[in-house]
Amino acid sequence: MTVILTIESTCDETSAAIINDQRQVLGSVVASQEKLHNRFRGVVPEIAARQHVQAILPVIELTLEKANLSIHDIDAVAVANTPGLAGSLLVGLCAAKSIALACDIPLIAINHLHAHVYACRLAAQQDVFPCVGFIVSGGHSNFYRCDDALTFQYLGGTIDDAAGEAFDKVAAMLGLGFPGGPAIGKVALTGDPKSFAYPRPFAKDKKHLKFSFSGLKTAVRYSLFGHAKPILDAASLSPQLIADVAASFQQAVVDCLIAKSLHALDLTKMSTLCVGGGVAANQVFRQQLTEAMKQYGATLWIAPPHLCTDNAVMGAIAIEKYNAGLFEELNLDIVAGLERL
Ligand code: KG4
Ligand code: ZN
């Protein structure tokens, strides 16, 4: 049986997993840096990279321990080398290269975005390809035509902020802390999603798969603090106003995501949608997308919430590369900004 160690350090989670060729997870660990970045209301790249250096070896050791394996039992090591924060990516890559060299095993490169889609394949426990892959995360809101597990073609995505970025920035305006997505989802439960008529950019334009969430952020800001005095003082906002703004903002984002998901299926004439990435953990999005796909008549796979946010388990896509003999030389580099491939 083939056993692969996967490493994920693209942003602010240090994670490792051990997966076998039956796509079973033998061990996995995610060390989140949330607490370190919370007071900055966003990820600080320098802090993230330094924390990965601290965490990477204990995380790998604990993963091996959980799987009851030694490093010498591993047949290949895989690492997400694109896209992400340069300093963060380098830590995972150096660890993976060291293991490949020391154990004389193949090195496999993982595209973090493709891995987010592959989380659906893992959860489905059946083939999900061909499909439209939709990554909706803190850094990306992208559609791909996925003819098989290793063939991804970029179809379109955000022209400014990603959906998760908008969640994080609006949460900061509302004084809700970081990461903003789960916090907004929670307070929105007691809010009225119809109380503010925020824009749904491009939602009615069926010709392309673009998103734009930057203006939506500005609309929220103006609705809270007006045009003349944009003083960001969340302490002056009532709990009901915060809940109403959160619910209205969340609904605006969800409407855009669902509209474009339908357009993507129309444009590609595909009948399966696979959704991954941190924002796909959002309960309102999951419920409404499930309903929309049922009405449309398409098959929907959404990664389970614990595989939506960053993790090394979704690096199981490395099994496909292993089977195809797609290995890297030890001079493999990171590519921080490679968003579309
Ligand atoms: O996939 P991910 O962990 O990291 C990236 O690859 O970017 O996504 C993180 C993003 C953050 O912006 C976070 O606020 C958002 O996902 N997020 C959510 C939820 N959980 C995480 N957004 C909306 N609702 C959630 N429940
Ligand atoms: Zn991610």
Residue 84 CA: which ligand 1 atom is closest? 6
Q: Do domains 3-116+310-323 and 126-307 have the same CATH topology?
A: yes
User: What number does CATH give the domain 3-116+310-323?
Assistant: 3.30.420.40
User: What sign has the CA pseudo-torsion 263, 137, 274, 112?
Assistant: positive
Q: Does domain 126-307 have CATH number 1.20.120.450?
A: no
Question: pLDDT, tens digit, for every residue of 226-243?
Answer: 875 656 678 889 999 999
d(CA 100, CA 78): 9
Residue 276 near ligand 1, beta carbon < 6 Å: no
Whether pLDDT at 38 is above 90: no
* 129-to-2, 90, 270 alpha-carbon distances in Å: 23, 31, 10
Residue 142 near ligand 1, beta carbon < 6 Å: no
* Predicted TM-score (pTM) above 0.75: yes
* 322-to-77, 80, 318, 329 alpha-carbon distances in Å: 10, 15, 6, 14
Whether residue 129 contacts residue 49, with contact meaning beta carbons closer than 8 Å, is answered with: no
Tell me the ligand closest to 165's alpha carbon. Answer: 1
Residue 310 near ligand 1, beta carbon < 6 Å: yes
Q: Would you place residue 341 in the very low, low, confident or very high pLDDT band (cuts 50, 70, 90)?
A: very low
d(CA 215, CA 221): 10
Question: pLDDT, tens digit, for every residue of 230-276?
Answer: 566 788 899 999 999 999 999 999 999 999 999 999 999 999 999 99
Between the CA of 208 and the centroid of ligand 1 the distance, in Å, is 24
Residue 179 CA: which ligand 1 atom is closest? 14
Q: Where are the domains of the chain?
A: 3-116+310-323, 126-307
Burial of 162: CB neighbours in 10 Å, binned 0-12, 13-18, 19+: buried
What's the distance, Cα to Cα, between the start and end of the chain in Å? 31
Residue 88 near ligand 1, beta carbon < 6 Å: no
Between the CA of 116 and the centroid of ligand 2 the distance, in Å, is 7
